[in-house]
Amino acid sequence: MARLIIVSNRLPITVDKKKDGDLFYHPSAGGLATGLNSLDNDLNKIWIGWPGEIIEDGWEQKAISQELTKDNLIPVFLTQEEKEFFYEGFSNKTIWPHFHYFTQYTSYRDRYWQAYKKVNEKFAELVCKHIQKDDLVWVHDYQLLLLPQMIRKAFPNVSIGFFLHIPFPSYEIFRILPWRRELLNGFLGADQIGFHTYGYMRHFLSAVYRITGYDHKFGKINVGNRIVNVDVFPMGIDYQKYATPPNFVEEKNGIEAQFLDKNQKMVLSIDRLDYTKGIPERIKAFRQFFEKHPHYIGKVTLVMVVVPSRSNVDQYADLKKELDTLVGNINAKYRTFNWTPIRYFYRSFPFNELTSMYRAAEIALITPLRDGMNLVAKEFIAAKEQSKKGVLILSEMAGASNELTDALIVNPNDSVDIVNALLQALEMSLEEQEERLVKMQENLKKFDVRNWAETFMNEQIGLIEFKHKQKTNLINETIEAKLLDDYNKAKQRLIILDYDGTLMNFNKDPQAVVPDQELLDNLNILHSNDKNKLIIITGRDKDTMVKWFSEIDIEMATEHGVWIKRKGKWRTFTNIYDTWKKDVRPVLENLVHRTPGSFIEEKDYSLAWHYRKIDKDLGEKRIREFKDVLHYLTANLDLQVLEGNKVVEIKNADVNKGKAAQYWLNDKKWDFILAIGDDRTDEDIFKVLPSNAYSIKVGLNQTKARFNIMSVEDVRTLLNKITSKT
């Protein structure tokens, strides 16, 4: 039976080793375990991760493993050094600050990177030891970015999902990292990659395109022989746990009562100690609030919970000092004998007390400078299920702000914005509070953590089915055997091949795609066989093809069929003309001027604008602009605009590869036809072929061809097999 193997840095159970050596087991904080444990499908689950304590003694490791195995948990034991360099180092001093836009804190130490790779390998080894047939793997978060690719290497067909819980930064930030390529390749080992927001997804796709060159269509990245699905899965919370907490006893003399008694309003903030959370900025804005609205002095209190974290990292210790000073100053300035402006707690609280605070607070002030999602904001809204009273002030830099649009959304760097939001929240009518809360609660109830985990898994399972379906059109062993057999039996064979993207991979410089010797040898074998007619039909210009294929006298069509070489002679359509070029060229030149990195290729009867070296979105935008101008310019001319792979070409309307193919198709009664091509212009060839022809599209895009083949490499392998039969 298929199982789900969850892999995350931390296990949902933490092991604590007391001074006397006793081992204690308790649940780790966080909603991930709830979400995953509630997955209500047929999958059995195992979970692999670090139990949070350094255990170097072999016997102890064995005892812990035995204990955890009872709950299907498998521990990865880290050494002190690994904890220091992998966890505190690369994870928390490199990726964490960098992905949260704190590049000033990013550490670029190779020592950290080496440890990161090593620990990812350690995880990979253990995961691979446990993978069985049909298992699904789901890897979590920034500590394990290399893991998907490592697992993929060992198990090319296993289904792997990956979810990033923190932001993915814009390309301009991401590219700064020396290990950007390795990190992206790590991600791309997965079949599915999930982010909290569309913004993170967009940044990721853009980084992938610019750094690795892999393009995508609607979030599906074609990585050669696989498709990687990238999508948005905003994580929810365990709604009922906060709406109707178990064992919750309304404390008569609890926090809420204390504030009510004194006619004071409670503003709440809860964060882990982290520079990403905007805590100093928040305190300063709170101080400004009293400066601007002094009549609220004595009437509003900020209850600020800061949970200790990563105290071994310098910036965290510095931040702690800064907070102590800021809170000290404001309290010293404004406190009275029965009121303190900020009640600051530097510790964590048991769940029940946390929930009491959520219920008691009139306002939650959650203003991170950057936050992947921020579950506290969602928990606060859920805790208001019964009272329907409360206002959420939320930073637009938290992923949650995309969903909680009925909160008061603020820019955490804009203290005036925060001050205004505080005033608006304090003065908001109960009707408006309820109206805003209800809308958000409805959404959070529907899209809770179970729904999040289920949606992710269902989509991942769907991909397995999709892959399976795709494979039916892909050239497999059976189709290949039939093709080779038909080829063998045939006496009059027509073989039509496209060049770029079919026989050779693309290059940023089109002139660098010179055919290699192996290809030339293979084509020569095909060409020299009396039973074969081998043709190349390409969009390239005649001169380049003549130069590159000087050794083999292959018949061909260039410029999509403008020039036809048959029986050793080149000729062109008689009715073709190029007088239009003088009108169109200046427009293209202007385009190049405005789009650095693009260039014009002039062929005999066409003009092509290449944008392979530039940003894809900019290229597409320019094409849209250009098409309008061209329509105007060519209103009375018989021209067409062909869109190829990162190139647009303007030529006479009468020319296309299908028409070119017909010269040879009509020559004889062929008993075997093979045509292979990769882009839209090759579809014109597929359209004119008889239904029993072997038409093959390179890549998995929609096509008129009968079959698909994954890559140029696969085309070359197929040709090798054909020539070995020749």
- Pairing type for strands 44-50 and 73-75 reads parallel
SS3 565: strand
Tell me whether residue 372 or residue 515 sits nearer to ligand GDG (CB atom): 372
CB 612 within 8 A of CB 213: no
Q: Tell me the CA distances in angstroms from 313 to 202, 248, 273, 316, one per residue in order.
A: 31, 37, 11, 6
Does the protein bind ligand GDG through residue 307 (CB under 6 A)? Answer: yes
**Chosen residue from 190, 360, 375, 709 binding ligand GDG by CB under 6 A:** 375
CB of 527 to ligand GDG, least distance (A): 59
Could you confirm whether 498 is annotated as catalytic?
yes
For residues 225-254, which are near ligand GDG according to CB under 6 A? 235
Residues 556 and 568: their CA atoms lie apart, in Å, by: 10
SS3 18: coil
**Chosen residue from 13, 376, 665, 712 binding ligand GDG by CB under 6 A:** 376
**Chosen residue from 191, 256, 281, 371 binding ligand GDG by CB under 6 A:** 371
CB of 29 to ligand GDG, least distance (A): 5
Binding mask 113-152 for ligand GDG (x = CB under 6 A): ----------------------------------------
CB of 325 to ligand GDG, least distance (A): 23
CB of 271 to ligand GDG, least distance (A): 7
Does the protein bind ligand GDG through residue 165 (CB under 6 A)? Answer: yes
CB of 49 to ligand GDG, least distance (A): 14
- Part of the chain binding ligand GDG (CB under 6 A), chosen from 19-27, 371-379, 385-393, 710-718: 371-379
Residue 61 corresponds to which tokens in the numbers above? Answer: 């490791």
CB of 397 to ligand GDG, least distance (A): 10
474 dihedral zone (left: phi>0; alpha: psi -120 to 50; beta): beta
Q: Tell me the CA distances in angstroms from 491 to 137, 480, 550, 670, one per residue in order.
A: 50, 19, 27, 8
Closest CA to 140 of 303, 218, 30: 30
Tell me whether residue 24 or residue 577 sits nearer to ligand GDG (CB atom): 24
For residues 312-351, which are near ligand GDG according to CB under 6 A? 348-349, 351
- String of DSSP letters for 265-286: EEEEEEEES-GGG-HHHHHHHH
- String of DSSP letters for 179-222: THHHHHHHHTTSSEEEESSHHHHHHHHHHHHHHH---EETTEEE
Tell me whether residue 452 or residue 609 sits nearer to ligand GDG (CB atom): 452
CB of 329 to ligand GDG, least distance (A): 25
Residues 708 and 676: their CA atoms lie apart, in Å, by: 9
CB of 3 to ligand GDG, least distance (A): 23
Residues 175 and 168: their CA atoms lie apart, in Å, by: 12
**Chosen residue from 55, 304, 327, 373 binding ligand GDG by CB under 6 A:** 373
Question: 498, 500, 541, 682: which is the annotated catalytic residue?
Answer: 498
For residues 405-444, which are near ligand GDG according to CB under 6 A? none
Q: Which ranges of 293-429 does DSSP label H, i.e. alpha helix?
A: 314-334, 351-360, 375-383, 415-426
For residues 22-61, which are near ligand GDG according to CB under 6 A? 29-31
Which residue matches tokens 């809860």?
Answer: 270
Q: Which residues contact 513 (CB under 8 A, 6 or more apart)?
A: 499, 500, 504, 505, 506, 507
Tell me whether residue 30 or residue 178 sits nearer to ligand GDG (CB atom): 30
Residues 402 and 377: their CA atoms lie apart, in Å, by: 12
Give the angle subtended at the CA of 647 by the CAs of 643 and 650, to the nearest 5°. 60
Binding mask 267-296 for ligand GDG (x = CB under 6 A): ---x-x------------------------
Burial class (CB in 10 A: 0-12, 13-18, 19+), 163: buried
For residues 510-539, which are near ligand GDG according to CB under 6 A? none
Tell me whether residue 309 or residue 723 sits nearer to ligand GDG (CB atom): 309
Size of the site for ligand GDG (CB under 6 A): 21
- Part of the chain binding ligand GDG (CB under 6 A), chosen from 184-192, 218-226, 279-287, 370-378: 370-378
Tell me whether residue 164 or residue 183 sits nearer to ligand GDG (CB atom): 164
Torsion of CA 599, 603, 606, 608, to 10 degrees: -20
- Pairing type for strands 606-610 and 599-602 reads antiparallel
- Total residues found in the chain within this entry: 726
Does the protein bind ligand GDG through residue 585 (CB under 6 A)? Answer: no
Tell me whether residue 4 or residue 373 sits nearer to ligand GDG (CB atom): 373
Residues annotated as catalytic (active site), given as ranges: 498
Binding site for ligand GDG (CB under 6 A): 29-31, 165-166, 235, 270, 272, 305, 307, 348-349, 351, 354, 371-376, 379
